[in-house]
Amino acid sequence: MKKTIFKGAATALITPMNPDTTVNYTKLKELIDEQINAGIDALVICGTTGEKSTLNYEEHIKVIKTACKHTNGRVPVIAGAGSNDTVYSVGLCKDAIDVGADALLMVTPYYNKTSQAGLISHYTYVADRVDAPIIVYNVPSRTGVNILPETYLELSRHQNIVAIKEANGDISSVAKTKQLVGDALDIYSGNDDQIVPLMSLGGSGVISVLSNVAPKATHDMCIAYLNGDVKTAKDLQLKYIPLINALFSDVNPIPVKEAMNIMGKDVGPVRLPLVPMSEQKREALIKIMADLKLI
């Protein structure tokens, strides 16, 4: 039986920046404390929301190392370590493990894409060479490739591949995947608007953008469902749908960083090629946050 990394809500944590867009490591530690104090169940560092694609290698490893050291075992730290270069990804995974990561989040190869056979070979190659649990991250809207349920079944046979972050938005596909893999892979929602629907099919929780601004509510939603309180989970899911939609009204993590700055968290700007959201979208975000008493 494979070990579950976490159940509940993991925050796909933003990477805070100084005004000049250098990484703000002091603020990173503050955000980690806030998240843990709010009850979050795990942290994902240097994922899409953490602007991994514009961190250089040294920054990437330093952010992971800082997060692991500061978290100090209070919750699992999952490091974004995927790449469209399989061999490069192995080195990145090993370095993330060396600086303390408890698990790895590996996105599907992007731009060069690959076939389903190529996905199996890619993940198997990495999993054979690293000694840490791997979460396979499927986000076809960004990568241009989708993992099929039958491919998950093949991947589930590897001892080091333990979970899925599913962000393809296809609930029917999730149902088929769960039917095929059973308990061999934990399934986490990669979409905040589908947390409860995915958990109703046997999912273990979410890797969340929403929890950057509402960690307790996101955690409570998942734990309520896991404890059998479906109504509370459903009510929280529906309550936060307007905010979830606003947080994805522009390219992630533009809106969530803006929301955190509106809350006074001073997490800084996004890095180019991302740019600030329009004033119209920002005003809509402010109204929704005010309605939820987040500001």
Catalytic residue positions?
137, 165
- Nearest residue to 158 via CA among 104, 112, 114: 104
- Give CA–CA dist 188/165, Å, rounded: 5
Show the tokens assigned to 100: 């303390």
Amino acid making up residue 267:
V
Exposed e or buried b per residue across 172-196, where buried means at least 16 C-beta atoms within 10 angstroms of its C-beta: ebbbbbbebbeebbbbbbbbbbbbb
Element (H, E) at 250: none
Spell out the residues 6+ positions from residue 233 whose beta carbon is closer than 8 angstroms to its own. 195, 196, 199, 221, 222, 224, 225
Show the tokens assigned to 43: 């942290």
Show the tokens assigned to 266: 């001073």
- Nearest residue to 294 via CA among 247, 228, 254: 247
3-state secondary structure of 242: helix
